[in-house]
Amino acid sequence: MTPSDTLGFAARAIFSYPLRSSLLVLAMSIGMAAVVMLTALGEGTRDYIVGQFISLGSNLIIVQQGRNETGGLHMGNLATPRELTIEDAASLLRNNHVSGVTPVSIGTAEAAANGRLRETMIFGTTASYVDIRRFSTSQGRFLPDEDWQRPRAVAVIGSAIHHELFDNTSPIGQMIRIGDNRLRIIGVLSPVGQGLGFNPDKMIFVPIATSLIIFNTNGLRHILVDITSRDAIEPAKVELEQIIRERHGGELDVTLTTQDAALATFDRILGMVTMGLTGIAAISLVVAGILVMNVMLVAVTQRTAEIGLLKSIGASNHVIMRMFVTEATLLSLIGSLAGFMLGHLGAWGIRMSWPFLPAWPPAWAIAAALAVALCSGLVFGIMPARRAAALDPVLALTGH
């Protein structure tokens, strides 16, 4: 019996039982679609977060209060870390590797203007922030480049705040009340969208000294330090730690995070999440393979007389096994291809629903899912095939 004859036999058997074959194909296609969609979602999330970090600037160091290492308990560990201050940020400018420093303070407050009121996020920063984040203004200008210690009663609003409080009218020159402070609007930020948990479109930007008055604090959220080149990041990190240590009484009570370190951490975490999602989805392919085995076992019982006829005209046990294994594998292949198309349709739906998420399934996940699906059909098709091959031809002809 030639391979083409075996394939033809398997195809005829599949089409002879359309309901049974359709259910098997459906089970396999659901498993395959789950793998494609979940891996697309995982990879899309990873690419989105990596892109957001890259948008911060390629030579960035983030200085945050507190140490993220855990060590043995000693009296030095019991001291409360000092707050990061504007003076700390200004001191970092004297390093030769630093091209720019931006102190940041973040909080929430009620903003009122034009007879409307809403709770919003207040972002205290300096004029250099738009250069680091590559933002621009659609109206007016950004914060003035002046003494960081000097509070100014000015504000720049995000595009969403503009539409919510002022509709389509120009807000430039109008007053906005934030808490107990009245500020004059000098600019509107161009639309940016969601990124790393923040949406600048829904934020109000004020000078760093003004934000500390609004929040009634002296401490910063963090400091962004722009380094002159990528080669200078590591030596700059060591020198910046020394500057902070000198200012904080000999204690290094801050954490300096480079962009590469943050990217590597997120990439590792999200890669493991994607692998986990792939493994969970792959279980459904194994379950579908077990279903193939169960149905094929029933098929052997239903087709006992057919098997007996084949053996009576000279078909060997090996040929009988090959026919049933081919049928199971063919069902798995059809289901996998259908699931592949269904999964890509689902990934397309994700991209349409969340345009910022590049939900494309990785090639390795598709190849692995196809391999698992085909192996499931092959492995779980062996037992029914062995059972069919072991039938006695005389008893099989009588339907026993």
Q: Which residues are paired to 118 by β-bridges?
A: 111
Structure tokens at 93: 């400018």
Alpha helices in the chain (DSSP H): 3-16, 18-55, 86-91, 129-133, 159-166, 208-215, 233-247, 259-302, 304-312, 317-353, 363-389, 393-397
CB neighbourhood size of 240 (10 A): 23
- How many angstroms separate the CA atoms of 38 and 144, rounded? 46
Question: Which phi and psi (to 5°) does residue 109 adopt?
Answer: -160, 165
Do 214 and 153 meet the contact criterion of CB atoms below 8 Å apart?
no
What is the number of alpha carbons within 13 Å of residue 258 lying toward its C-beta? 18
- How many angstroms separate the CA atoms of 91 and 112, rounded? 36
pLDDT tens for each residue of 17-44:
788 788 778 888 888 888 888 888 888 8
- How many angstroms separate the CA atoms of 49 and 113, rounded? 34
Choice between 210 and 326, residue whose per-residue pLDDT is larger: 210
- Amino acid (one-letter) located at 242: Q
Do 337 and 12 meet the contact criterion of CB atoms below 8 Å apart?
no
Q: Could you tell me if residue 114 is left (phi over 0), alpha (psi between -120 and 50 degrees) or otherwise beta?
A: left
pLDDT class of 384 with cuts at 50, 70, 90: low
Q: Which of 179-188, 287-296, 358-367 has the highest mean pLDDT?
A: 179-188
pLDDT tens for each residue of 271-329:
787 777 777 777 777 777 777 777 776 666 666 666 666 666 666 777 777 777 787 78
pTM of the model as a whole? 0.61
CB neighbourhood size of 252 (10 A): 13
Burial class (CB in 10 A: 0-12, 13-18, 19+), 288: buried
Q: Write the CB contacts of 220 (distance below 8 Å, at least 6 apart in sequence).
A: 65, 83, 84, 85, 86, 88, 89, 103, 104, 105, 208
CA 334 to chain centre: 30
